[in-house]
Every structure is written in structure tokens, then in C-alpha cells.
Structure 1
Amino acid sequence: MTMPQIAGPLAAALDVVAEGCADLADPWWVFGSAGMALVGVPGLTPPDVDLIVSERDARALLARWDAAPLEAAPSPLFRSRIFAKAQVAALPIEIMAGFEAFSGGAWAPVVPATRQALDWNGRRLFTPSAAEQAAICRRFGRPKDLARVALLEALA
């Protein structure tokens, strides 16, 4: 996958992610609007970088980035067994392990099945495919997610 045109605070935060996640033990993904930008969705200005990681790797990142698990505000749509915001980059990095979404009347894990590698300044970043990100947006069903489905599908 070729590198999209990403600059500014997002690029700086992705540098930190690529370096900090390089030796993680389990699969991990840049997710949310930062993941969408990585697959080429134009015009996004993500407020943070979302990471989906294993619980083991979440604990490693918490130690590496001196971040503490947070009690996330109750949400009818999302929950994580481990959630933290690392303030180690130009944008906050949100670490989510055991991430689940509520849809169809039940909680279900959000674990991407695809894992696209992107060369990033001599390191690697990973994100779900554009097609899978579109499916996840549809599953989440929020207006902001549904508005991005067509953009993602055009890239699939």
C-alpha cells in the first residue's frame, strides 16, 4: 500500500505510533478516522489516533507511554476492557483493548479481519482495509460513520 498524503499533527502522531508499536506481540490496527486517512479518505482531520490492540499489548503501551487506564464514560455503543489516552504525541493516542460495539441487540468484539501494512517513515503501520472499515462504519451506524461509507467503498 502506498503512503497517503498525511501531514501535520496526524503525521507526527503516526510517527510515534509506528515507533511505539513496532515490537508489539499481537496484531494491532490504527482505526477510526486516522485509519480512514491511512487508506486514502481525503479531507479528514482526526482529533486523535485510535489503536485496537490486544490486552497484553495495551499493558505494554501503557507502560511505554506512561499512560493509565481510564474509566470511559458509559456509552450505549462502545466499550473496552482497557481504554487509555496516551498524551505522547501531537494528537492523543487512544489505546483500546477488548473493544466491543453494541449492534443488533448485543455486544460483539471489534477485531478487524484484514490488516493492511503501510510503510511509514521506515516503519510499519497497520489498518483494516477500506472495505472492512466501510463495513464497520455501517455496523456502528452513527451519522458520522455512515457519511464515510461511500468514501471508503470508493477506495475498496
Structure 2
Amino acid sequence: MSHVPPALFVALTELVPELHVHCADPWCLIGSAGALLLGADVGVGDVDVLVSRSDAEALTALWTERRDTAHVPTDGDRFRSHYARFRFPGLPVEVMGGLELDAGDGWQPVSPGKLVLVGLQGLAVPVPSLDDQIRIFESFGRDKDRARAAALRKLHQPRSVLPIVSSS
């Protein structure tokens, strides 16, 4: 796994235990944080959490004092969810309950697919599998998402092999 930047580590050490306690349904990290946890070489500016709509409502009520009401998400015409952004130590956290994407064929739910657990200092962090993260990023279709998918694809490539030198 690539190095986890200190800001992400600080955010996750506070966020992940809260999600394990307060979410009734499966949840996972998506976006750049999810990609980095699988080993992709990407920058992380926030933590995107995919949850059920009911869990998003519960977290919004729980974290009222942390809520960043001034933030307006971009690409509102492509994405919809029960959305809220929260101030956490290290990095902001964006919760998306029941995330849907309209890529031109109507609103479709964003499914994380198969989840894998990434261990981080004793924390079990669920993220979509490598193939599912690539699928999600490609479906989003933005330049930043295509770059993240490319970074994840590099993890599929075999490690470089040293040339074999023969002596005569």
C-alpha cells in the first residue's frame, strides 16, 4: 500500500470507528481515499463515504455541529444523493447516502460491488475491490476519475522483471 498521508490517517482514525458504530447498513470509502488505500498513487483532498440513505440521515443528525453547510458539491447534474460534508480533523468527510449517477441514461444507483477490508493501524476499512473501483471511476467519466482509474490499473500490471543475463 502506498504511504497514507498524515491528514488522511488522522481523519480515518476518528471517522472509521464512528462509521462502524453508527451505520446500520454496509458502507465503504470510495474516491481517492479508497483508491489510495488499495495502493494507487493518487492525491487525497477529502474522504468520500458511500452509505445507505438512512445511515446518511443518521450521520447528519449525529454530526450536526461538524456540518459544513457552506460547501456546495460540484457536478450536481450528474450525481445525486443524501449528501452532507463534515469537518473532521485532517480532511473533510463527504457522506453520500444512496448515491446515484446520471451518465446520460437516467439515474442509476452507484453500487460499490465487492468490498474488501484494508487494515490501517488496527482499523478495518471497507473499500470496493480493485476492479470495482476502476468500474466506478470509469462510470463517473470525469478527467480526475479517469486518472484515478489509470492509477488503479497500474496495480494490475506485473512488477518489472530484471533481465536475465547469460554468460558464455
How far residue 72 of structure 1 moved from its aligned partner, in angstroms, is: 5.0
TM-score, normalised to structure 1's length? 0.86
Per-residue Cα deviation, 1:70-93 (whole angstroms, up to 9, x for no partner): 67566221111x111111221110
Gaps of 5+ in 1: none
Tell me how large the CA RMSD over aligned residues is: 2.1
**Residue identity opposite 2:26 in structure 1:** P
CA contact (8 A) 2:32 2:148 kept: no
Instruction: State the secondary structure of the residue aligned to 2:20.
Output: coil
Q: How does 1:5-154 map to 2 (within 5 A)?
A: 5-23=3-21, 24-42=23-41, 44-66=42-64, 67=66, 72=73, 75-80=76-81, 82-154=82-154
Instruction: Return the index of the structure with the highest Cα Rg.
Output: 2
**Aligned counterparts of 2:8 and 2:50: Cα–Cα separation in 1:** 17
**Aligned counterparts of 1:130 and 1:152: Cα–Cα separation in 2:** 7
**Residue identity opposite 1:12 in structure 2:** V
TM-score, normalised to structure 2's length? 0.80
**Aligned counterparts of 1:134 and 1:123: Cα–Cα separation in 2:** 24
**Aligned counterparts of 1:90 and 1:16: Cα–Cα separation in 2:** 10
How far residue 21 of structure 1 moved from its aligned partner, in angstroms, is: 0.9
How high is the sequence identity, in percent, across the aligned residues? 36
**Residue identity opposite 1:77 in structure 2:** R
| Alpha-carbon spacing, 1:73–1:103, altered in 2? closer, same or farther (3 Å) | closer
Instruction: State the secondary structure of the residue aligned to 1:99.
Output: strand
Gaps of 5+ in 2: 157-168
Deviates more, 1:65-74 or 1:21-30: 65-74
State the aligned residue count: 152
| Alpha-carbon spacing, 1:73–1:133, altered in 2? closer, same or farther (3 Å) | closer
